[in-house]
Structure 1
Amino acid sequence: MKKKLSISDIARSLNISVTTVSFILNGRAEEKRISEELVQRVQKYIAEVGYKPNSLARSLRTGKSNTIGLMVEDISNPFFANIARMIEDNAYKNGYKILYCSTDNDTEKTKDLIQMFQERHVDGYIIAPPDGVEEEINTLISSGSPVVLFDRNLPGVHTDYVGIDNYGSTYHAINYLIRKGYKNIAFITLYSLQSQMQERMQGYESALAEHQMNQHIKEIPYSNDPDDIIKHVSAFLSRKKEVDAVLFGTNYLAVSGLRAIYNLGLKIPSDLAVIAFDDHDVFELSNPSITAIKQPIQEISGEVINLLLKGLKSPSKLKKPESLILKTTLELRKSSK
């Protein structure tokens, strides 16, 4: 096997010091008053031999890896996938690369992933966190690492945050259904203490309380198995035959929920009106098309990466955290008319 070229090999071949080569490779030639002629000679040589610097070793020398750790619930979910792609594009334009991972809403897995990112010396963190990782994130912040949370916030963690108006989004969606004449509106959501899910629940409860209408709530444990979700939704709707409209708390609950509805032989919207929280390509293509609460994905991703880049350029433990709450839109389609 061919031996990988080192900085020492380059220095020996060009008859210059290892320190000089290191300064040139790390962009410090001008600072150290190294001649342009020598810089070009080194750059030409490394291009000829195809030298690739060890990024981990370089991060240990410079304190920067030019990488960002991005942690989301499920990278295959269209909401997180679209945000991740936009964050990646913006980060790359600013000289950073993204390392992705999915937490699966698993606290212990998330702790392990945070440790993995620390070992890889990522420069900053973008996290949609599960509950129970407050201590680990506060440790990152205390160490001076920029951290931006998005989609859901954590009590006791004081850092930059980008979210949406979850309460107002469900409140207005339920009021829309009430104005359309629906009397028994269900909310099928996750069994979760996460801030965004609690806020969506509160919006649903407030809208019904104002009209003195009965609540019909089904909380489903987090699961990656669509069949498991289908069973829960089918059992709930079979038991609650009076329900004439349903708001699903996430897009993947809605996708599995639609299968349950069709399996039960129910017609949308004549038997059951449907709204999903978060849009999905399936909803526009479905027959009938599905009304959805649409999150501003481009705006979320833009604000998230801008806050992180700001933290990377001007790190300060004394900086007051920014909290940005963005508006959603109700994308009206045939399932709620």
Structure 2
Amino acid sequence: MATISDVARAAGVSPATVSRVFNGGRVTAERAERVRKAAADLGFSPNRVARSLRTQRASVIGLLVPDVENPFFASLARGVEDAARRTGLSVVLCNTDDDVEKERGYLGIALAEQMAGVIVAAASRTHTDLSALVARGMPVVAVDRRPRAAEVDAVTVDNQHGGEDATVHLLERGYRRIACITGPAGASTSEDRLAGYRAAMRDAGTPDEQTRACTRHGDFRAEGGHTAMRELLALPTPPDAVFVADSLMTVGALQALREAGIEPPGFGVLSFGDLPWASLVRPPLTTVELPSYDLGSSAAELLRDRLAGSGKPLQTVVLRTVLQARESTAGPVPSG
């Protein structure tokens, strides 16, 4: 059975345009003709789909995350699903791969399919655009990452405080040339964790040029952590510890250290984000634990309240991180 997305692809338009054609919205005559021809060629039945959409509106929400293979987002998605199911909602999961265009396409589908609402971990702080959903009156909750201009409910983590805690911990353990591998520039979580690192280094009297030299942006994937760690080890004066602002990038960083014959805790390693095996590796890995499941369940509960007609002002819920100290940051190798 052909779908709205199939018709949109055949007609060279967005799913939202197809929806407008069959629901009396404003569309140019030329586009409307293309859509109707594509629908006829594909055997698309707007009446049947419209009935389906009315049913979906009351029961289906969209969840957009950058990468469900990342343990953090997998746990977040489980929190969303568990909370949603308790109120009779089903969840459609979409991977955006931190791609704003891909994200825009999924948001368009959410509109065209008339989903009940959307929970989104924004691909970009500055370029993610939720305005079309807000204008249509669709409830939206930003989770983990919040776009700057979005007037929506949000559930976030105090990433800056967590980044500062992590760096202070490394300083207190005796490390001095501390590096930071953060995520993509423009992602709010990346920038906030980096800001916490910079604040702690500045308070410790570290020159800004050293902090800049010891900072790398990765891609929230293992390959990005591996590449960044190799670059840091190649510096004229390499770091003696690293704060990695994502669990998957930590995997890559550890691999690069092992390839170079470097082991914690002589070289300190601290990961932002949970790794299921963090306490099992040798030495056990120090982590900043994120309330990923609670982020997801809280976001679903906020969305549920909006769907129930909550007239409350927009809310931002901020959850805290917890530093779990283990042996990977026990202290540097004594000099001399």
Encode CA deviations 1:225-265: one digit per residue, 9 max, x unaligned. x4454233212212254411110011111111110010110
The amino acid that maps onto 1:233 is M
1:220 correspondence with 2:213: no
Consecutive unaligned residues of structure 1, counting only runs of 5 or more, are 1-53
Deviations 1:188-213 (A, max 9, x none): 11241122211111111111111111
1:6-17 pair list within 5 angstroms: none
Shift of 1:120: 2.2
1:171 positional shift: 0.8
Partner of 1:299: 294
Given the alignment, which residue of 252, 263, 266 partners 1:267? 263
Structure-1 residue corresponding to 2:309? 314
Match of 1:41? none
The answer to whether the aligner puts 1:238 opposite 2:231 as a matched pair is no
In structure 1, what is the Cα distance between the partners aligned to 2:205 and 2:194? 16
Q: Which residue of 2 aligns with 1:277?
A: 272
TM-score, normalisation: structure 2: 0.78
Matched, 1:180 2:157: no
The aligned counterpart of 1:254 is: 250
Cα gap change, 1:190/1:145 in structure 2, threshold over 3 Å: closer, same or farther? same
Letter in 1 for 2:298: E
Letter in 2 for 1:217: C
- The CA deviation at 1:55 is 8.9
- Secondary structure of 2:182 counterpart: strand
* Amino acid paired to 1:236: L
Deviations, residues 291-314 of structure 1 (Å, cap 9, x unaligned): 111011232122111100001110
Identity of aligned residues (%): 29
Matched letter for residue 66 of structure 2: E
Is the contact made by 1:110 and 1:133 (CA closer than 8 Å) also made in structure 2?
Answer: no
Please give the alpha-carbon distance, in whole angstroms, between the structure 1 residues aligned to 2:48 and 2:85.
16
The answer to whether the aligner puts 1:102 opposite 2:95 as a matched pair is yes
Distance 2:204 2:225 in 1: 30
Secondary structure, counterpart of 2:170 in structure 1: helix
Question: What SS does the corresponding residue of 2:114 show, helix, strand or coil?
Answer: coil
Q: Which residue among 276, 283, 290 is the counterpart of 1:288?
A: 283
SS at match of 2:279: helix
SS in 1 for 2:92: strand
Tell me, in whole angstroms, the C-alpha distance in 2 between the residues paired with 1:56 and 1:151: 33
The equivalences for 1:111-190 within 5 A come to 111-131=104-124, 133-135=127-129, 137-190=130-183
1:91/1:304 CA distance change after superposition, 3 Å: same
> What secondary structure is seen at the aligned counterpart in 2 of 1:239?
coil
| Residue 326 (structure 2) pairs with residue 326 (structure 1) | no
Q: How far apart are the structure 1 equivalents of 2:218 and 2:272?
A: 17
Evaluate the alpha carbon distance shift between residue 252 and residue 199 of structure 1 in structure 2; reply closer, same or farther with a 3 A threshold: same
Moved more, 206-215 or 257-266: 206-215
Query: Aligned equivalents of 1:173 and 1:223: distance in 2?
Result: 18
1:261-310 C-alpha deviation (Å, 9 max, x unpaired): 1011001111x101011011132222111111101123212211110000
CA change 1:285–1:335 in 2 (3 A) is same
Q: Is the counterpart of residue 86 in structure 1 residue 83 in structure 2?
A: no
**For the Cα contact (< 8 Å) 2:100–2:128, is it kept in 1?**
no
RMSD, matched Cα: 2.1
Query: 2-side partners of 1:134 and 1:267: how far apart?
Result: 40
Structure 1 length-normalised TM: 0.77
AA partner of residue 251 (structure 2): V
Q: Which runs of 5+ in 2 are unaligned?
A: 1-46, 331-336
Q: Check the 8 A contact 1:71/1:128 in 2, yes or no.
A: yes
Distance change (3 Å), C-alpha of 1:99 and 1:240: farther
Do 1:123 and 1:145's aligned partners in 2 also have CA atoms closer than 8 Å? yes
Instruction: Label 1:71 to 1:163 Cα distance change in 2 as closer, same or farther (>3 A).
Output: same
For 2:148, give the aligned amino acid.
P
Aligned twin of 1:20:
none
CA contact (8 A) 1:56 1:65 kept: no
Alignment of 1:21-40 (within 5 A): none
